[in-house]
Structure 1
Amino acid sequence: MTIKILADSACDLSMTYYNEFDIEMVSLTVHLDDNDYEDGKTINPKTVYHAMREGKSPKTSQVSPQTFKDIFTAYAESNQPLVYLAFSSELSGTYQTAKMMEQEVKEIHPEAPIHVIDTKCASLGYGLVVLHTAKLAKQGATLEEIISAARTYAVNMEHIFTVDNLEYLYRGGRVSRTAAFVGTLLKIKPILHVEDGKLIPLEKIRGSKKLFQRMLDLMEERGKDFTDQTIGISHGDDLERAKQLAAMIKEKFPVKDVVIEMVGSAIGSHSGPGTIALFFLNNSK
């Protein structure tokens, strides 16, 4: 029986990939202008970025327990294997909710082939884990092979990213008001990464011209053999800069492919317009 891969909208994959690799998706909720929207389905990221540029502060909430319960129950009753790869538990409560619903469903269906994995990844870094796993499922890999590959890929996924305006990180509680003000005044661009699922400041770069070169340097320092890798770039409504970074990567490294996606509405509500993120496999584990 086919093994189904479930992801949530924080993986920032476009519908093309969901359709091609038969991936099921659940949406985080975006709250904007007193309305609730389903990330990846009923709101366009550009709408969120436009609102943020006008000074609005969209909020987000995790996937509901009932959504997971309904999905898990359906797969349990049909006895179809399901692997849910979750957005980092350090950035959302979605993983914990899914685990609770998994336990509830397994009280009724103890043999249900449902598996919930915390990727500790975000945005397209998370998306690349989902994509890699879904390709294996489509090729007929076993459940054990899929779970092992997902965990290995996730623990080695490097996230290197920068934001265009520190104000958005301030609103999300990532930097202080003083740091946001001074950083903007001095044109300081932060470089952050994800460590054990958490957002961690890495460096501060003065001026945007040095930014991409430093991101490439970090890619060279932290990355493994790129010849067979698919590199990910996600952007907060700034396709031109994303393409510029992709061109620099292709010029410097013999990469297999570069996937460019827009940061979705849920992640983008916290990172803001102008975000540029780079994802690749590292050598740490």
Structure 2
Amino acid sequence: MSVRIITDSACDLPKNIIDEYNIHVVPILIYLEDKEYLDGETLNPMDLYKGMRSGKVYKTAQIPPATFKKVFLEYAKKNESVIYIAFSSGLSGTYQSALMAKNEVLDEYPDLDLEIIDTKCASVGFGLVVYKAVQMAKEGKTKEEIVNAVKFYSQHMEHIFTVDDLEYLYRGGRVSRTAAFIGSLLNIKPILDVEDGKLIPIEKVRGRKKVLKRMIEIMEERGVDLSNQVIGINHGDDLEGAKKLEEMIRERFGCKKFVVNIIGCAIGAHSGPGTLSVFFLNQKPPM
């Protein structure tokens, strides 16, 4: 590849895509009490969800500048052209850490060819942006072409998801204790979105079956040319739910290409088991 793509573990891309395109994924930090883990390396999602179901509370922390500095130095020394595609700055300080590290590396390597892009996206919505970038890099597209595509996909990526238990959003400070209690009591399932990089609740639906139906309706309202898109789906250890959602999308819109994966530890620590998400573009990419 003429352009090297770096990202972080909040992209939640499946391992086969990471391996196929040799994507450099920097892990976000996960904490259980005082013990530190690396997302996807020393802690896997299945163990995280098992722990959460048993009452364990996991915390997350941004990637420190020192980690990014080490990564960026590696490519600076080889004089490679690099794009770091980052997790939303509205949900993590990781993007800011990367900027700090870049400035430090520039002091030593003023010719550093590094572009850092804040996607304002999360999970597989973020992952689809990365996926497009690595496909273009493999095709030999220029850095400018890839950067322009990353910005377009980032700006037009829809994130529609629901959580199975509001308790986990309460722990992360996303909803009040009263809302979590009443929601659980009444079997209310919130539908959330990511807008300008931040988590926004958009609707409340009662019952799992109705919430999936409503997610499909929102896809129809917001999506454009869905049958020709790569659709992202991910889940918090609910593969059956993800398959059901995929089947509904195939039947409704005729979609053929999907990226389906379990939600990684960085996102899953806040959303919890049973989360279901769908990601798609709300505008047709330019030719």
- Given the two structures, how large is their TM-score scaled by the length of structure 2? 0.97
Q: How far is the alpha carbon of 1:34 from its aligned partner? A: 3.5
Give the alignment of 1:57-206 within 5 angstroms.
57-206=57-206
What are the equivalent positions in structure 2 for 1:27-42 lying under 5 Å apart? 27-42=27-42
The 1:232/1:165 distance shift into structure 2, 3 A limit, reads same
Does residue 223 (structure 1) correspond to residue 223 (structure 2)? The answer is: yes
1:12 is matched by which residue type in structure 2? Answer: D
Displacement of 1:283 after TM fit?
3.2
1:276 aligned to 2:276? yes
Q: Which residue of 2 aligns with 1:247?
A: 247
Question: Separation in 2 of the partners of 1:284 and 1:240?
Answer: 30
* Structure 1 residues 78-99: Cα deviation after superposition (integer angstroms, max 9, x where no partner): 1101100000000000000001
Give, in whole Å, the separation in 2 of the partners of 1:242 and 1:227. 18
Q: Deviation at 1:103?
A: 1.3
For residues 73-130 of structure 1, the C-alpha deviation after alignment (integer angstroms, 9 at most, x for no partner) is 1211211011000000000000000011111111222221111000000000000100
Q: Distance in 2 between matches of 1:179 and 1:270?
A: 16
Alignment-mate amino acid for residue 115 of structure 2: H
Identical pairs, percent: 56
Alignment check: 8 A CA contact 1:226 1:256 kept? no
1: CA distance, partners of 2:206 / 2:242: 20
The residue identity in structure 2 corresponding to 1:212 is L
Gaps of at least 5 residues in structure 1 are none
In 2, the alpha carbon distance for the partners of 1:123 and 1:131 equals 12
Deviation at 1:284, TM superposition (A): 9.8
Q: Contact 2:9/2:27 (CA < 8 Å) preserved in 1? A: yes
Alpha-carbon distance in structure 2 between the residues aligned to 1:284 and 1:61: 35
CA RMSD of superposed structures (Å): 1.3
Distance 1:171 1:28 in 2: 19
Equivalent residue letter for 1:113: D
Q: Are 2:260 and 1:256 aligned?
A: no
Please list the CA deviations of residues 52-89 of structure 1 after superposition, one character each: whole Å capped at 9, or x if unmatched: 11111111111121111011112112110110000000
What count of residue pairs does the alignment treat as equivalent?
A: 285
Gaps of 5+ in 2: none
| Amino acid aligned to 1:140 | G
Q: Give secondary structure in 2 for the equivalent of 1:43.
A: coil
- How far apart, CA to CA, are the structure 2 residues paired with 1:35 and 1:141? 42
**1:153 Cα deviation after fit:** 0.6
Contact kept, 8 Å, 1:233 with 1:260, in 2: the verdict is yes
Shift of 1:170: 0.3
Q: Counterparts of 1:256 and 1:151 in 2: how far apart (Å)? A: 25
Structure 2 distance, partners of 1:49, 1:255, is: 30
Please give the TM-score of this superposition, normalised by the length of structure 1: 0.97
- 1:31 Cα deviation (Å)? 1.0
Distance in 2 (alpha carbons) for counterparts of 1:252 and 1:53: 33
Which piece of structure 1 moves more, 13-22 or 95-104?
13-22
* 2:156 aligned partner, one-letter code: N
How far, CA to CA, are the matches of 2:158 and 2:136 in structure 1?
21
| Inter-partner Cα distance in structure 2 for 1:16 and 1:162 | 26
